Amino acid sequence: MDTLKLQKGNLENFLQKLGEEFAVFAPVMSDGIVSFLELRPGQKSVLDFPRTHKPPKDIFYPQTEVMLRYGRDGLQSTEYKGKPIVLFGVRPCDAKSFILLERVFIEPKYKDPYWVARRNKTLIFSLACNDPLPSCFCNWLDGGPFNKTGSDIFITDIDDDYLFEPISEDGERFLSGVDILKEATEKDIKKAKNAKERAESSMEKPPKLDSLKSSLDTLWDETLWDEISLRCLGCAVCTYSCPTCYCFDIQDESRRGKGVRIRLWDSCMFPLFTKEGSGHNPRPLQKHRLRQRFMHKFNYFVEKQGEFGCVGCGRCVSLCPVNIDIRSFITSVIQTAQGRGDT
Ligand code: SF4
Ligand code: SF4
């Protein structure tokens, strides 16, 4: 199927029509911040945003989620039973993050029914980044501002129109039934190609990361962890804003014979995350917790899943209150290992 186009003036109309069949989540401005929210009738989406503060992972994996209700009369499941979901206007790094998260939530041994119930029949419309931010480094990690991994339909903003390129079979099937879209012309495709070249060339050339995992293998006890962690506040902004972090806690809240089991995001940056019932904490210092975060993304995830557990969205870079920049950490790990002759 060829690439199609939608006049920008028809966007709201298009989204309203989508809403008849799907629960549509799109970037919406609320209190001066753009977040992915379910579109209510008449609500406008914002597609000229650089990056949402909060990644859209909470649509499939809410920050707080009731897993089941219980009482004297038994258990009641709370799995999602709503309309199929459309995620509209997701940036390429976030679309790719779903592929990484699914290695955890849909891997054969442990299928997470809550994730699966929402993710089933979902369509992901990702939106190319024409103007990557200075903190973005998706191009270091096999991604890029026009990367299509994880996308069903890929949107490019070309001035007066949006181009819609089908990527998956589901995306193609969906687009073939939408009559509001027109065929893109050669001129439109050329504009998209130019936008891609401009965006890609605006990003810094990435360093080689081939030796990053093996460098980390040798740096468990390095003073590097002391240096980086000295200014870390342990606030966990980096993990809560990360599209690929997935740690959670489960708690029961019950009263007078009935209750709920709740799953909520947790963070390896908190001391309580690993504190045992005996009082012992295997990661007593912030440097141990920071090391865990970096090791998980760039060492353990590679070992288990074959790729880095980071998509280079740059949220942790721009939101860390003390400017701990994961890119500097990556380069100093490689340099430290090279300086010691380990690589
Ligand atoms: S956001 Fe920065 S200060 Fe807060 S826990 Fe993460 S690295 Fe530490
Ligand atoms: S570690 Fe930082 S840059 Fe990488 S995916 Fe998470 S928030 Fe984005």
End-to-end CA, the chain: 47
Specify the residue with its C-alpha closest to ligand 2, atom 1. Answer: 310
Q: Is the CB of 238 under 6 A from ligand 1?
A: yes
Find the ligand nearest to 267 CA.
1
Indicate the range of 221-235, 268-282, 319-333 predicted with least confidence: 221-235
Ligand 1 atom at shortest distance from the alpha carbon of 267: 5
Nearest CA to ligand 2 atom 7: 242
Average pLDDT value for residue range 97-109 = 92
User: Distance, CA 88 to ligand 1 centroid (Å)?
Assistant: 30
Ligand located closest to 245 CA: 2
Nearest-10 crossing angle of helices 286-295, 326-339: 90
Residues with CB under 6 A from ligand 2: 241-244, 297, 310-316, 326
Q: What local confidence, expressed as pLDDT, does residue 237 receive?
A: 97
CA-wise closest residue to 310 among 211, 214, 210, 243: 243
Whether residue 343 is predicted with pLDDT greater than 70 in this model: the reply is: no
- pLDDT, tens only, 161-202: 999 999 999 999 999 888 899 999 999 999 999 999 999 999
Query: What residue ranges do the domains of the chain occupy?
Result: 4-201, 212-339
Which own/partner pairs from 177-183 qualify as long-range (CB within 8 Å, at least 24 positions apart)? 178/4, 178/14, 178/17, 180/6, 180/10, 180/13, 180/14, 180/17, 181/4, 181/5, 181/6, 182/4, 182/5, 182/6, 183/2, 183/3, 183/4, 183/5
Cα radius of gyration (the chain) = 22
Mean pLDDT of 58-62: 96
